[in-house]
Structure 1
Amino acid sequence: MNPLGIHALVWAGDVSPESVNKIISSSKQAGFDLIEFSLHEPKPLDFGYTRELLKEHAIKPAFSRGLAFNADVSSDDPAVVARGVALLTEAINITQQLGGDYFGGVPYSALGKYNHPITAQGRKHVVETLRRISGEAADKGVKIGLEVVNRYESNVINTARQALELIDEVGTGNLCVHLDTYHMNIEEVDFVRPVLECGDKLGYVHIGESHRGYLGSGTVDFTAFFHALAQIGYTGPITFESFSSTVVAEGLSNDLAVWRNLWNNGMDLATHAHAFISAQAKGAGLGVTDRPY
């Protein structure tokens, strides 16, 4: 069965106790099994309070983050790389402490536009970093996902094939590919071949429209994508991701260039997304459930 998830930024732009309560209760009310929290700015996240709320609402957490250029693990500078490794280690520890078993996002570079290709030394640092953190994460029961993002957000991997090549180069068993339909719409030739190529290396999925607004109102071929997921027997999370200037997390919103107001009502957006994803999944022959993940 595929757990259906939703990104916390549909509900709130920070992780204060009041916002965490809104994120968790609203996600459950909208029918989701999983919440993805961004760890770009993890303070003032209250671990005990968040754990109890997740347990009370019987909903599973997943976590993600990107890195800034001063903590870029693809940098040539070892000091910059070390800052990135420290942030990733912190994120893995938070994931474990809050009962999660998945940490993803962009743990392989800064989240932003580069003006040059990655260097050989930078690539070496990426591989070394991923070997290190995937080992640490495995010891804590946490899987690491490499989200494939577009050329304006990283110069390391922009396609599923590049992600698979990087995973092979790292050579550990605790990495998986994370595909996002928003990024695929920019970089991939279609929505089928990348999924088939990933096969059992696909561990996490983001469902996002071409403009990151309401599903079905853009150019993404969701029918082809969901049928490809069914073809490989995908059973992992399917998480809705959408951003609007209505809800702002300053650091992440700036990194992702969230300048436009694409929606005002998070609950309307979320319930529409849940119905849309459920219909697509069932139409393709995937299993979805309202039970906690």
Structure 2
Amino acid sequence: MPDNPIGVHALVWTGDTSPESVQHAVTETRAAGFDLLELSLHDSLNLDVPAARRALDAVGLQVACSRGLAFDADVSSEDPAVVKRGEQLLHDSLAITHGLGGTHFTGALYSALGKYPAPLTEGGRRNVVTVLAQLAKEARGRGMTLGLEICNRYETNVVNTAHDALRLADDIGEDNVLIHLDTYHMNIEEDDFVRPVHEVGDRLGYVHIGENHRGYLGSGHLDFTSFFHALRDIRYTGPVTFESFSSAVVMRGLSNDLAIWRNLWTDGADLARHAHAYIAGMLTSHPS
């Protein structure tokens, strides 16, 4: 088997981070054969960090955390009070990730997750750079990396392509700020699945695998073969995490944020087992 940890997003199992839900996600993730569980911190107020870490450690699972921001806590805003709330949320989330034993804190760390009515302003971009440079310094002290997840135009106006993300990472200027590619978003914004991977190269730190409709892998039209070939080309050995959403599992508010208007699956366990086999097969067929 390849060295890449194969992960699954906790929203395949549960829509919240209560102790019972986290334990369920941990148990199911291990039973499905994954190496890593990704926890979304949208519900972090309900997360019992010590209990979650004990559950993860008990079964030997790695953990990564992700999040986006809200419009009233948006570090790409020009409103100082809004930026300050977003900055605090990011620092709190970094501490939670560290407390869980994770070294990857990733996601749309640079903006709210939602459709913007206008392009990013110069002042808003300066705020993003300032906030994430400070967050990266704190992350380095904790032995952690930050991931800039590239999201489509309907979810952010800050970073939509690999080239955008590299420019932002260069301006932040910290070498523990890495790029997070997501095949769902790449399908919307990139020309193909190869050139962005090659452009990012050894700055790739995290990968989300998701179908064009966020359902079962292989049931859509995405060219995963070329994508995994490209990962092999750059000798990527980081996490490859399956991400899929269904309003049968995800809480209503987040379902609305993610525009989950129909259910492509109802059985998370079957979906996850299939995804693990699919990703493992791709990695084995295209080893680094």
- TM-score of the aligned structures, taking structure 1 as reference length: 0.96
Post-superposition Cα deviations, 1:121-179, rounded to whole Å, max 9, x if no partner, equal: 00110110110111111111121000000000000010001100111111111100000
For 2:134 and 2:165, the matched residues in 1 are separated by: 17
8 A contact 1:95–1:142 mirrored in 2 = no
| Equivalence map 1:151-190=2 (5 Å) | 151-190=153-192
Q: Structure 2 counterpart of 1:262, which letter?
A: L
Q: Structure 1 counterpart of 2:80, which letter?
A: P
Post-superposition Cα deviations, 1:53-97, rounded to whole Å, max 9, x if no partner, equal: 111110011000000000010001111000000000000000111
* 1:198 shift after superposition: 0.3
Q: Does 1:229 align with 2:259?
A: no
Q: Does 1:281 align with 2:286?
A: no
Pick aligned residue for 1:21 from 20, 23, 28: 23
Secondary structure in 2 matching 1:156:
coil
For 1:227 and 1:212, the matched residues in 2 are separated by: 21
8 A contact 1:104–1:146 mirrored in 2 = yes
Q: Structure 2 counterpart of 1:88, which letter?
A: L
8 A contact 1:64–1:103 mirrored in 2 = yes
For 1:250 and 1:46, the matched residues in 2 are separated by: 22
For 1:91 and 1:42, the matched residues in 2 are separated by: 8
1:191 is aligned to 193
Compute the RMSD of aligned alpha carbons. 0.8
Extract structure 1 runs of 4+ deviating beyond 3 A. Answer: none
For 2:218 and 2:20, the matched residues in 1 are separated by: 32
For 2:103 and 2:251, the matched residues in 1 are separated by: 24
* 1:253 shift after superposition: 2.2
8 A contact 1:40–1:251 mirrored in 2 = no
Q: Structure 1 counterpart of 2:128, which letter?
A: V
Secondary structure in 2 matching 1:41:
helix
* 1:32 shift after superposition: 0.2
Q: Does 1:139 align with 2:154?
A: no
For 2:261 and 2:142, the matched residues in 1 are separated by: 37
Pick aligned residue for 2:203 from 197, 201, 204: 201
For 1:124 and 1:48, the matched residues in 2 are separated by: 36
For 1:127 and 1:219, the matched residues in 2 are separated by: 36
2:10 is aligned to 8
Secondary structure in 2 matching 1:43:
helix
Post-superposition Cα deviations, 1:224-280, rounded to whole Å, max 9, x if no partner, equal: 000000000000000000001110233432221122111010010000000111111
Post-superposition Cα deviations, 1:172-198, rounded to whole Å, max 9, x if no partner, equal: 111000000000000000000000000
Secondary structure in 1 matching 2:46:
coil
2:80 is aligned to 78
* 1:16 shift after superposition: 1.2
Pick aligned residue for 1:55 from 57, 70, 73: 57
Percentage of identical aligned residues? 59
8 A contact 1:245–1:262 mirrored in 2 = no
For 1:202 and 1:85, the matched residues in 2 are separated by: 24
Q: Structure 1 counterpart of 2:53, which letter?
A: R
How many positions carry a matched residue from both structures?
286
Secondary structure in 1 matching 2:274:
helix
Pick aligned residue for 1:46 from 48, 59, 82: 48
For 1:167 and 1:253, the matched residues in 2 are separated by: 29
